[in-house]
Structure 1
Amino acid sequence: MISHPSRHCTVELQALPSRIGQVRRIVSAQLRYWHMDLLIDRAALGVTELLTNVHLHARRDKTCTVAMELLLDRLTVSVHDRDPRLPVVDDAAPLATCGRGLAMVAAMSESWGVRPDDESGKVVWFTLPTTLSAAPPTAPPLASRPPRRLVEEVPAAAFAEVGHGADLGSPQPAPARSAVAG
């Protein structure tokens, strides 16, 4: 017996800059409805990065489908587009303003991946844990925080393993991250 069936939400759209903001609001509202407020920031960031990639890189039309599925222990967010070319994860410079979208998705998610979908497209997805133990830790009070630099450099090696040699059809764990002390 399943005590809480999965919940599913899909939105079809053209990945245009004006629509990406609307989808962020839809994702946020749906997660509030599901009482998953702690996931809103990371889910909205991830879907923004994936839709931006469709807008910037997908050939043919920019029509895509965003799907969210909430299971007992994880949220899966996926974007299906009509371009069969699989994304390439670049080793972008730490302060680059483009080319870091999938690395950001990998860094903030539990797992992510990409798989071909029929002959006409692909699906890029990521998962977030829904359990409280997997939620990001709460920040200590400001007075007890160590001073931090305004801009933190993340070594390029931290993203070197992202997507390389991975089985693109199954979930992959995100790379280990370490905090940079200031």
Structure 2
Amino acid sequence: MNLTVATPHTIGRPVYTALLPCRPDSVCRARQFVSSVLTTWGTGTLVEDLELVVSELLTNVIDHTVCAMAQVMIERCPDGVVRIEVADNSYVQPRMQEGDAAAESGRGLFLVAALSWRWGCVEHDWGKSIWAELKTLGNATSAASQVPTSENVQ
């Protein structure tokens, strides 16, 4: 059994990371990780949305890459923004699929876009990271009333 340890970073903004194997059971562990960090920070209003976002981002890595491990990072940014990021060593860029709204798969990035304030993908020398930022209720209107954007900047 692999042990996942949430690692806090002590310099700069509050950040926690977890290294997870790219297996379906890791999605549940990523959701639990996000929930515990948000509860620690007192931003529990974002738990459901961020759990769904991390589920979709990690599931994309599991389903569309051959990576053995993925890193999940959650960061508390200024102005009530929480950033979730999933990094892997694949260079395959995520893309929204045109598809049927009733389909059982292929809508993950649409959900990420609908729930987040903004999201995007950053290429690195070692692979990529896909990120999404959500605002706490005191700092934004509901995600449904926002226009989702994809920004390829960090």
TM above 0.5, one fold?
yes
Secondary structure of 2:25's counterpart equals helix
In the TM superposition, structure 1's runs of 4+ consecutive aligned residues that sit over 4 Å from their partners are none
Offset, 1:89: 1.3
Secondary structure of 1:123's counterpart equals strand
Offset, 1:168: 2.3
The one of 20, 25, 30 equivalent to 1:23 is: 30
Length-normalised TM-score, structure 1:
0.70
Judging changes above 3 Å, is the alpha-carbon distance between structure 1 residues 34 and 162 closer, same or farther for their aligned structure 2 residues?
closer
Conserved 8 A contact 1:10-1:66: yes
**Matched residue type, 1:36:** T
Structure having the higher Rg = 1
Conserved 8 A contact 2:31-2:51: yes
Q: Superposed, which structure 2 residues align to 1:122-161 within 5 Å?
A: 122-134=128-140, 136=142
Percent identity between matched residues is 30
**Matched residue type, 2:152:** L
**Matched residue type, 1:136:** S
Distance 2:99 2:44 in 1: 31
Per-residue CA distance 1:47-103 (angstroms, 9 max, x = gap): 0000100110013x3311000110232011000011011112111211111011011
Distance 1:126 1:49 in 2: 11
Higher strand share: 2
Conserved 8 A contact 2:45-2:137: no
Length-normalised TM-score, structure 2:
0.82
Conserved 8 A contact 1:38-1:135: no
Distance 1:131 1:125 in 2: 19
Say yes or no: does 1:71 pair with 2:56: no
Mark the runs of 5 or more structure 1 residues left unpaired by the alignment.
138-160, 171-182
Distance 1:68 1:113 in 2: 15
Distance 2:74 2:130 in 1: 12
Say yes or no: does 1:93 pair with 2:86: no
Secondary structure of 2:122's counterpart equals strand
RMSD: 2.0
Secondary structure of 2:31's counterpart equals helix
Secondary structure of 1:54's counterpart equals helix
Residues matched between the structures, number: 138
Mark the runs of 5 or more structure 2 residues left unpaired by the alignment.
1-11
Q: Superposed, which structure 2 residues align to 1:108-119 within 5 Å?
A: 108-118=115-125
Conserved 8 A contact 1:72-1:130: no
